[in-house]
Each structure stands twice: as structure tokens, then as C-alpha cells.
Amino acid sequence: MEQTYLCKFDSEGRRTETLLTCEYSDEEKQQKIAEGYIEIPEEDWNFYVGNKGQGKNGTGYIRGADGKPTDAPAYVPSKEEQLAQLDSQYNADKAELTQYFAEAVLANDTETQAELRQELEDLNAEYTAKRKEIEEG
């Protein structure tokens, strides 16, 4: 006999609680179902706990409208996360350009200095535009 589980799911279909049905009498099991638990087969449970991979979006599985496991939606980072990533990349790129510029100054290479100044101006303009896009998005 295949194991079944009693699970609760949130409004987005994510599993929030799990109980083994074999630990409950039929009456207790019906009480749990009345409390919002749903009985699912072990095969479905394996999707929800990650035993069947993380789905096509890499975010696991949720309970679909048909009551079956379906790919969870792709993760969409918050504005704060997007801004933090943008700032981190900008700071790293700026530090790299600054290092190259310092080396060009030490080498008295004015041509490279001019190129790097332009790259820095382009980097600043791109950063400002992307930051505005995220903030207004």
C-alpha cells in the first residue's frame, strides 16, 4: 500500500505542513481534512519536498489548480534585490576601471587614460539609466 500524506498548502499552492496519514485513525484523518489538510499520494509529496528536482524554473513545485504538482513560478527578485545587485556590479566594474586608469597614469599612457575615462562615463550613464528603470519599474 502506497503511503499517503496530509498536507496543507498556502494560497500560492506551496506546501506548508505535512503529516503521515498512517499516524492517524480514520476519524482523526477526517478531522485533519476538515481542518484544511489535503490527502496526497507519496508520488505527489516527492515533488513538493524536492525529491523530483526543482522544476523547469528551479523553484520547485506547487499544487496546481488541478490538485497536481506543477512547476512553481520563476523567482522574481524584489526592487531592493535588483538595486543591490546593480550596485554591486557597478562598484566592481568601477573599481576595475579605476585600477586600470591608475596603471595607465603610472605608465604615462594618455591614450589609454582617455579610453578609460570614456568607459567610466559610459558605465556611469548605464548605471544611472538602469537604476532609474528599476526604481520606476
Whole-model pTM? 0.62
Residue 94 CB contacts under 8 Å (≥ 6 apart), including other chains = 120, 123
Q: What is the pLDDT of residue 74?
A: 94
115 is written with which cell numbers? 579610453
82 is written with which cell numbers? 535588483
Q: What is the pLDDT of residue 137?
A: 83
- Above 90 in pLDDT, residue 100? yes
125 closest CA partner among 90, 79, 97, 81: 90
Dump pLDDT digits (tens) for 13-47: 999 999 999 999 999 999 999 999 999 999 999 99
Q: What is the pLDDT of residue 35?
A: 96
- Between residues 137 and 1, which one has the greater pLDDT? 137
Dump pLDDT digits (tens) for 66-84: 999 999 999 999 999 999 9
- Above 70 in pLDDT, residue 1? no
Q: What is the pLDDT of residue 17?
A: 96
Q: What is the mean pLDDT of the chain?
A: 95
Q: Mean of the pLDDT values across residues 87-114?
A: 96
For residues 24-54, one letter each, b for 16 or more C-beta atoms within 10 angstroms of the residue's C-beta and e for the rest, the string is eeeeebeebeeeebeebeeebbebbeeeeee
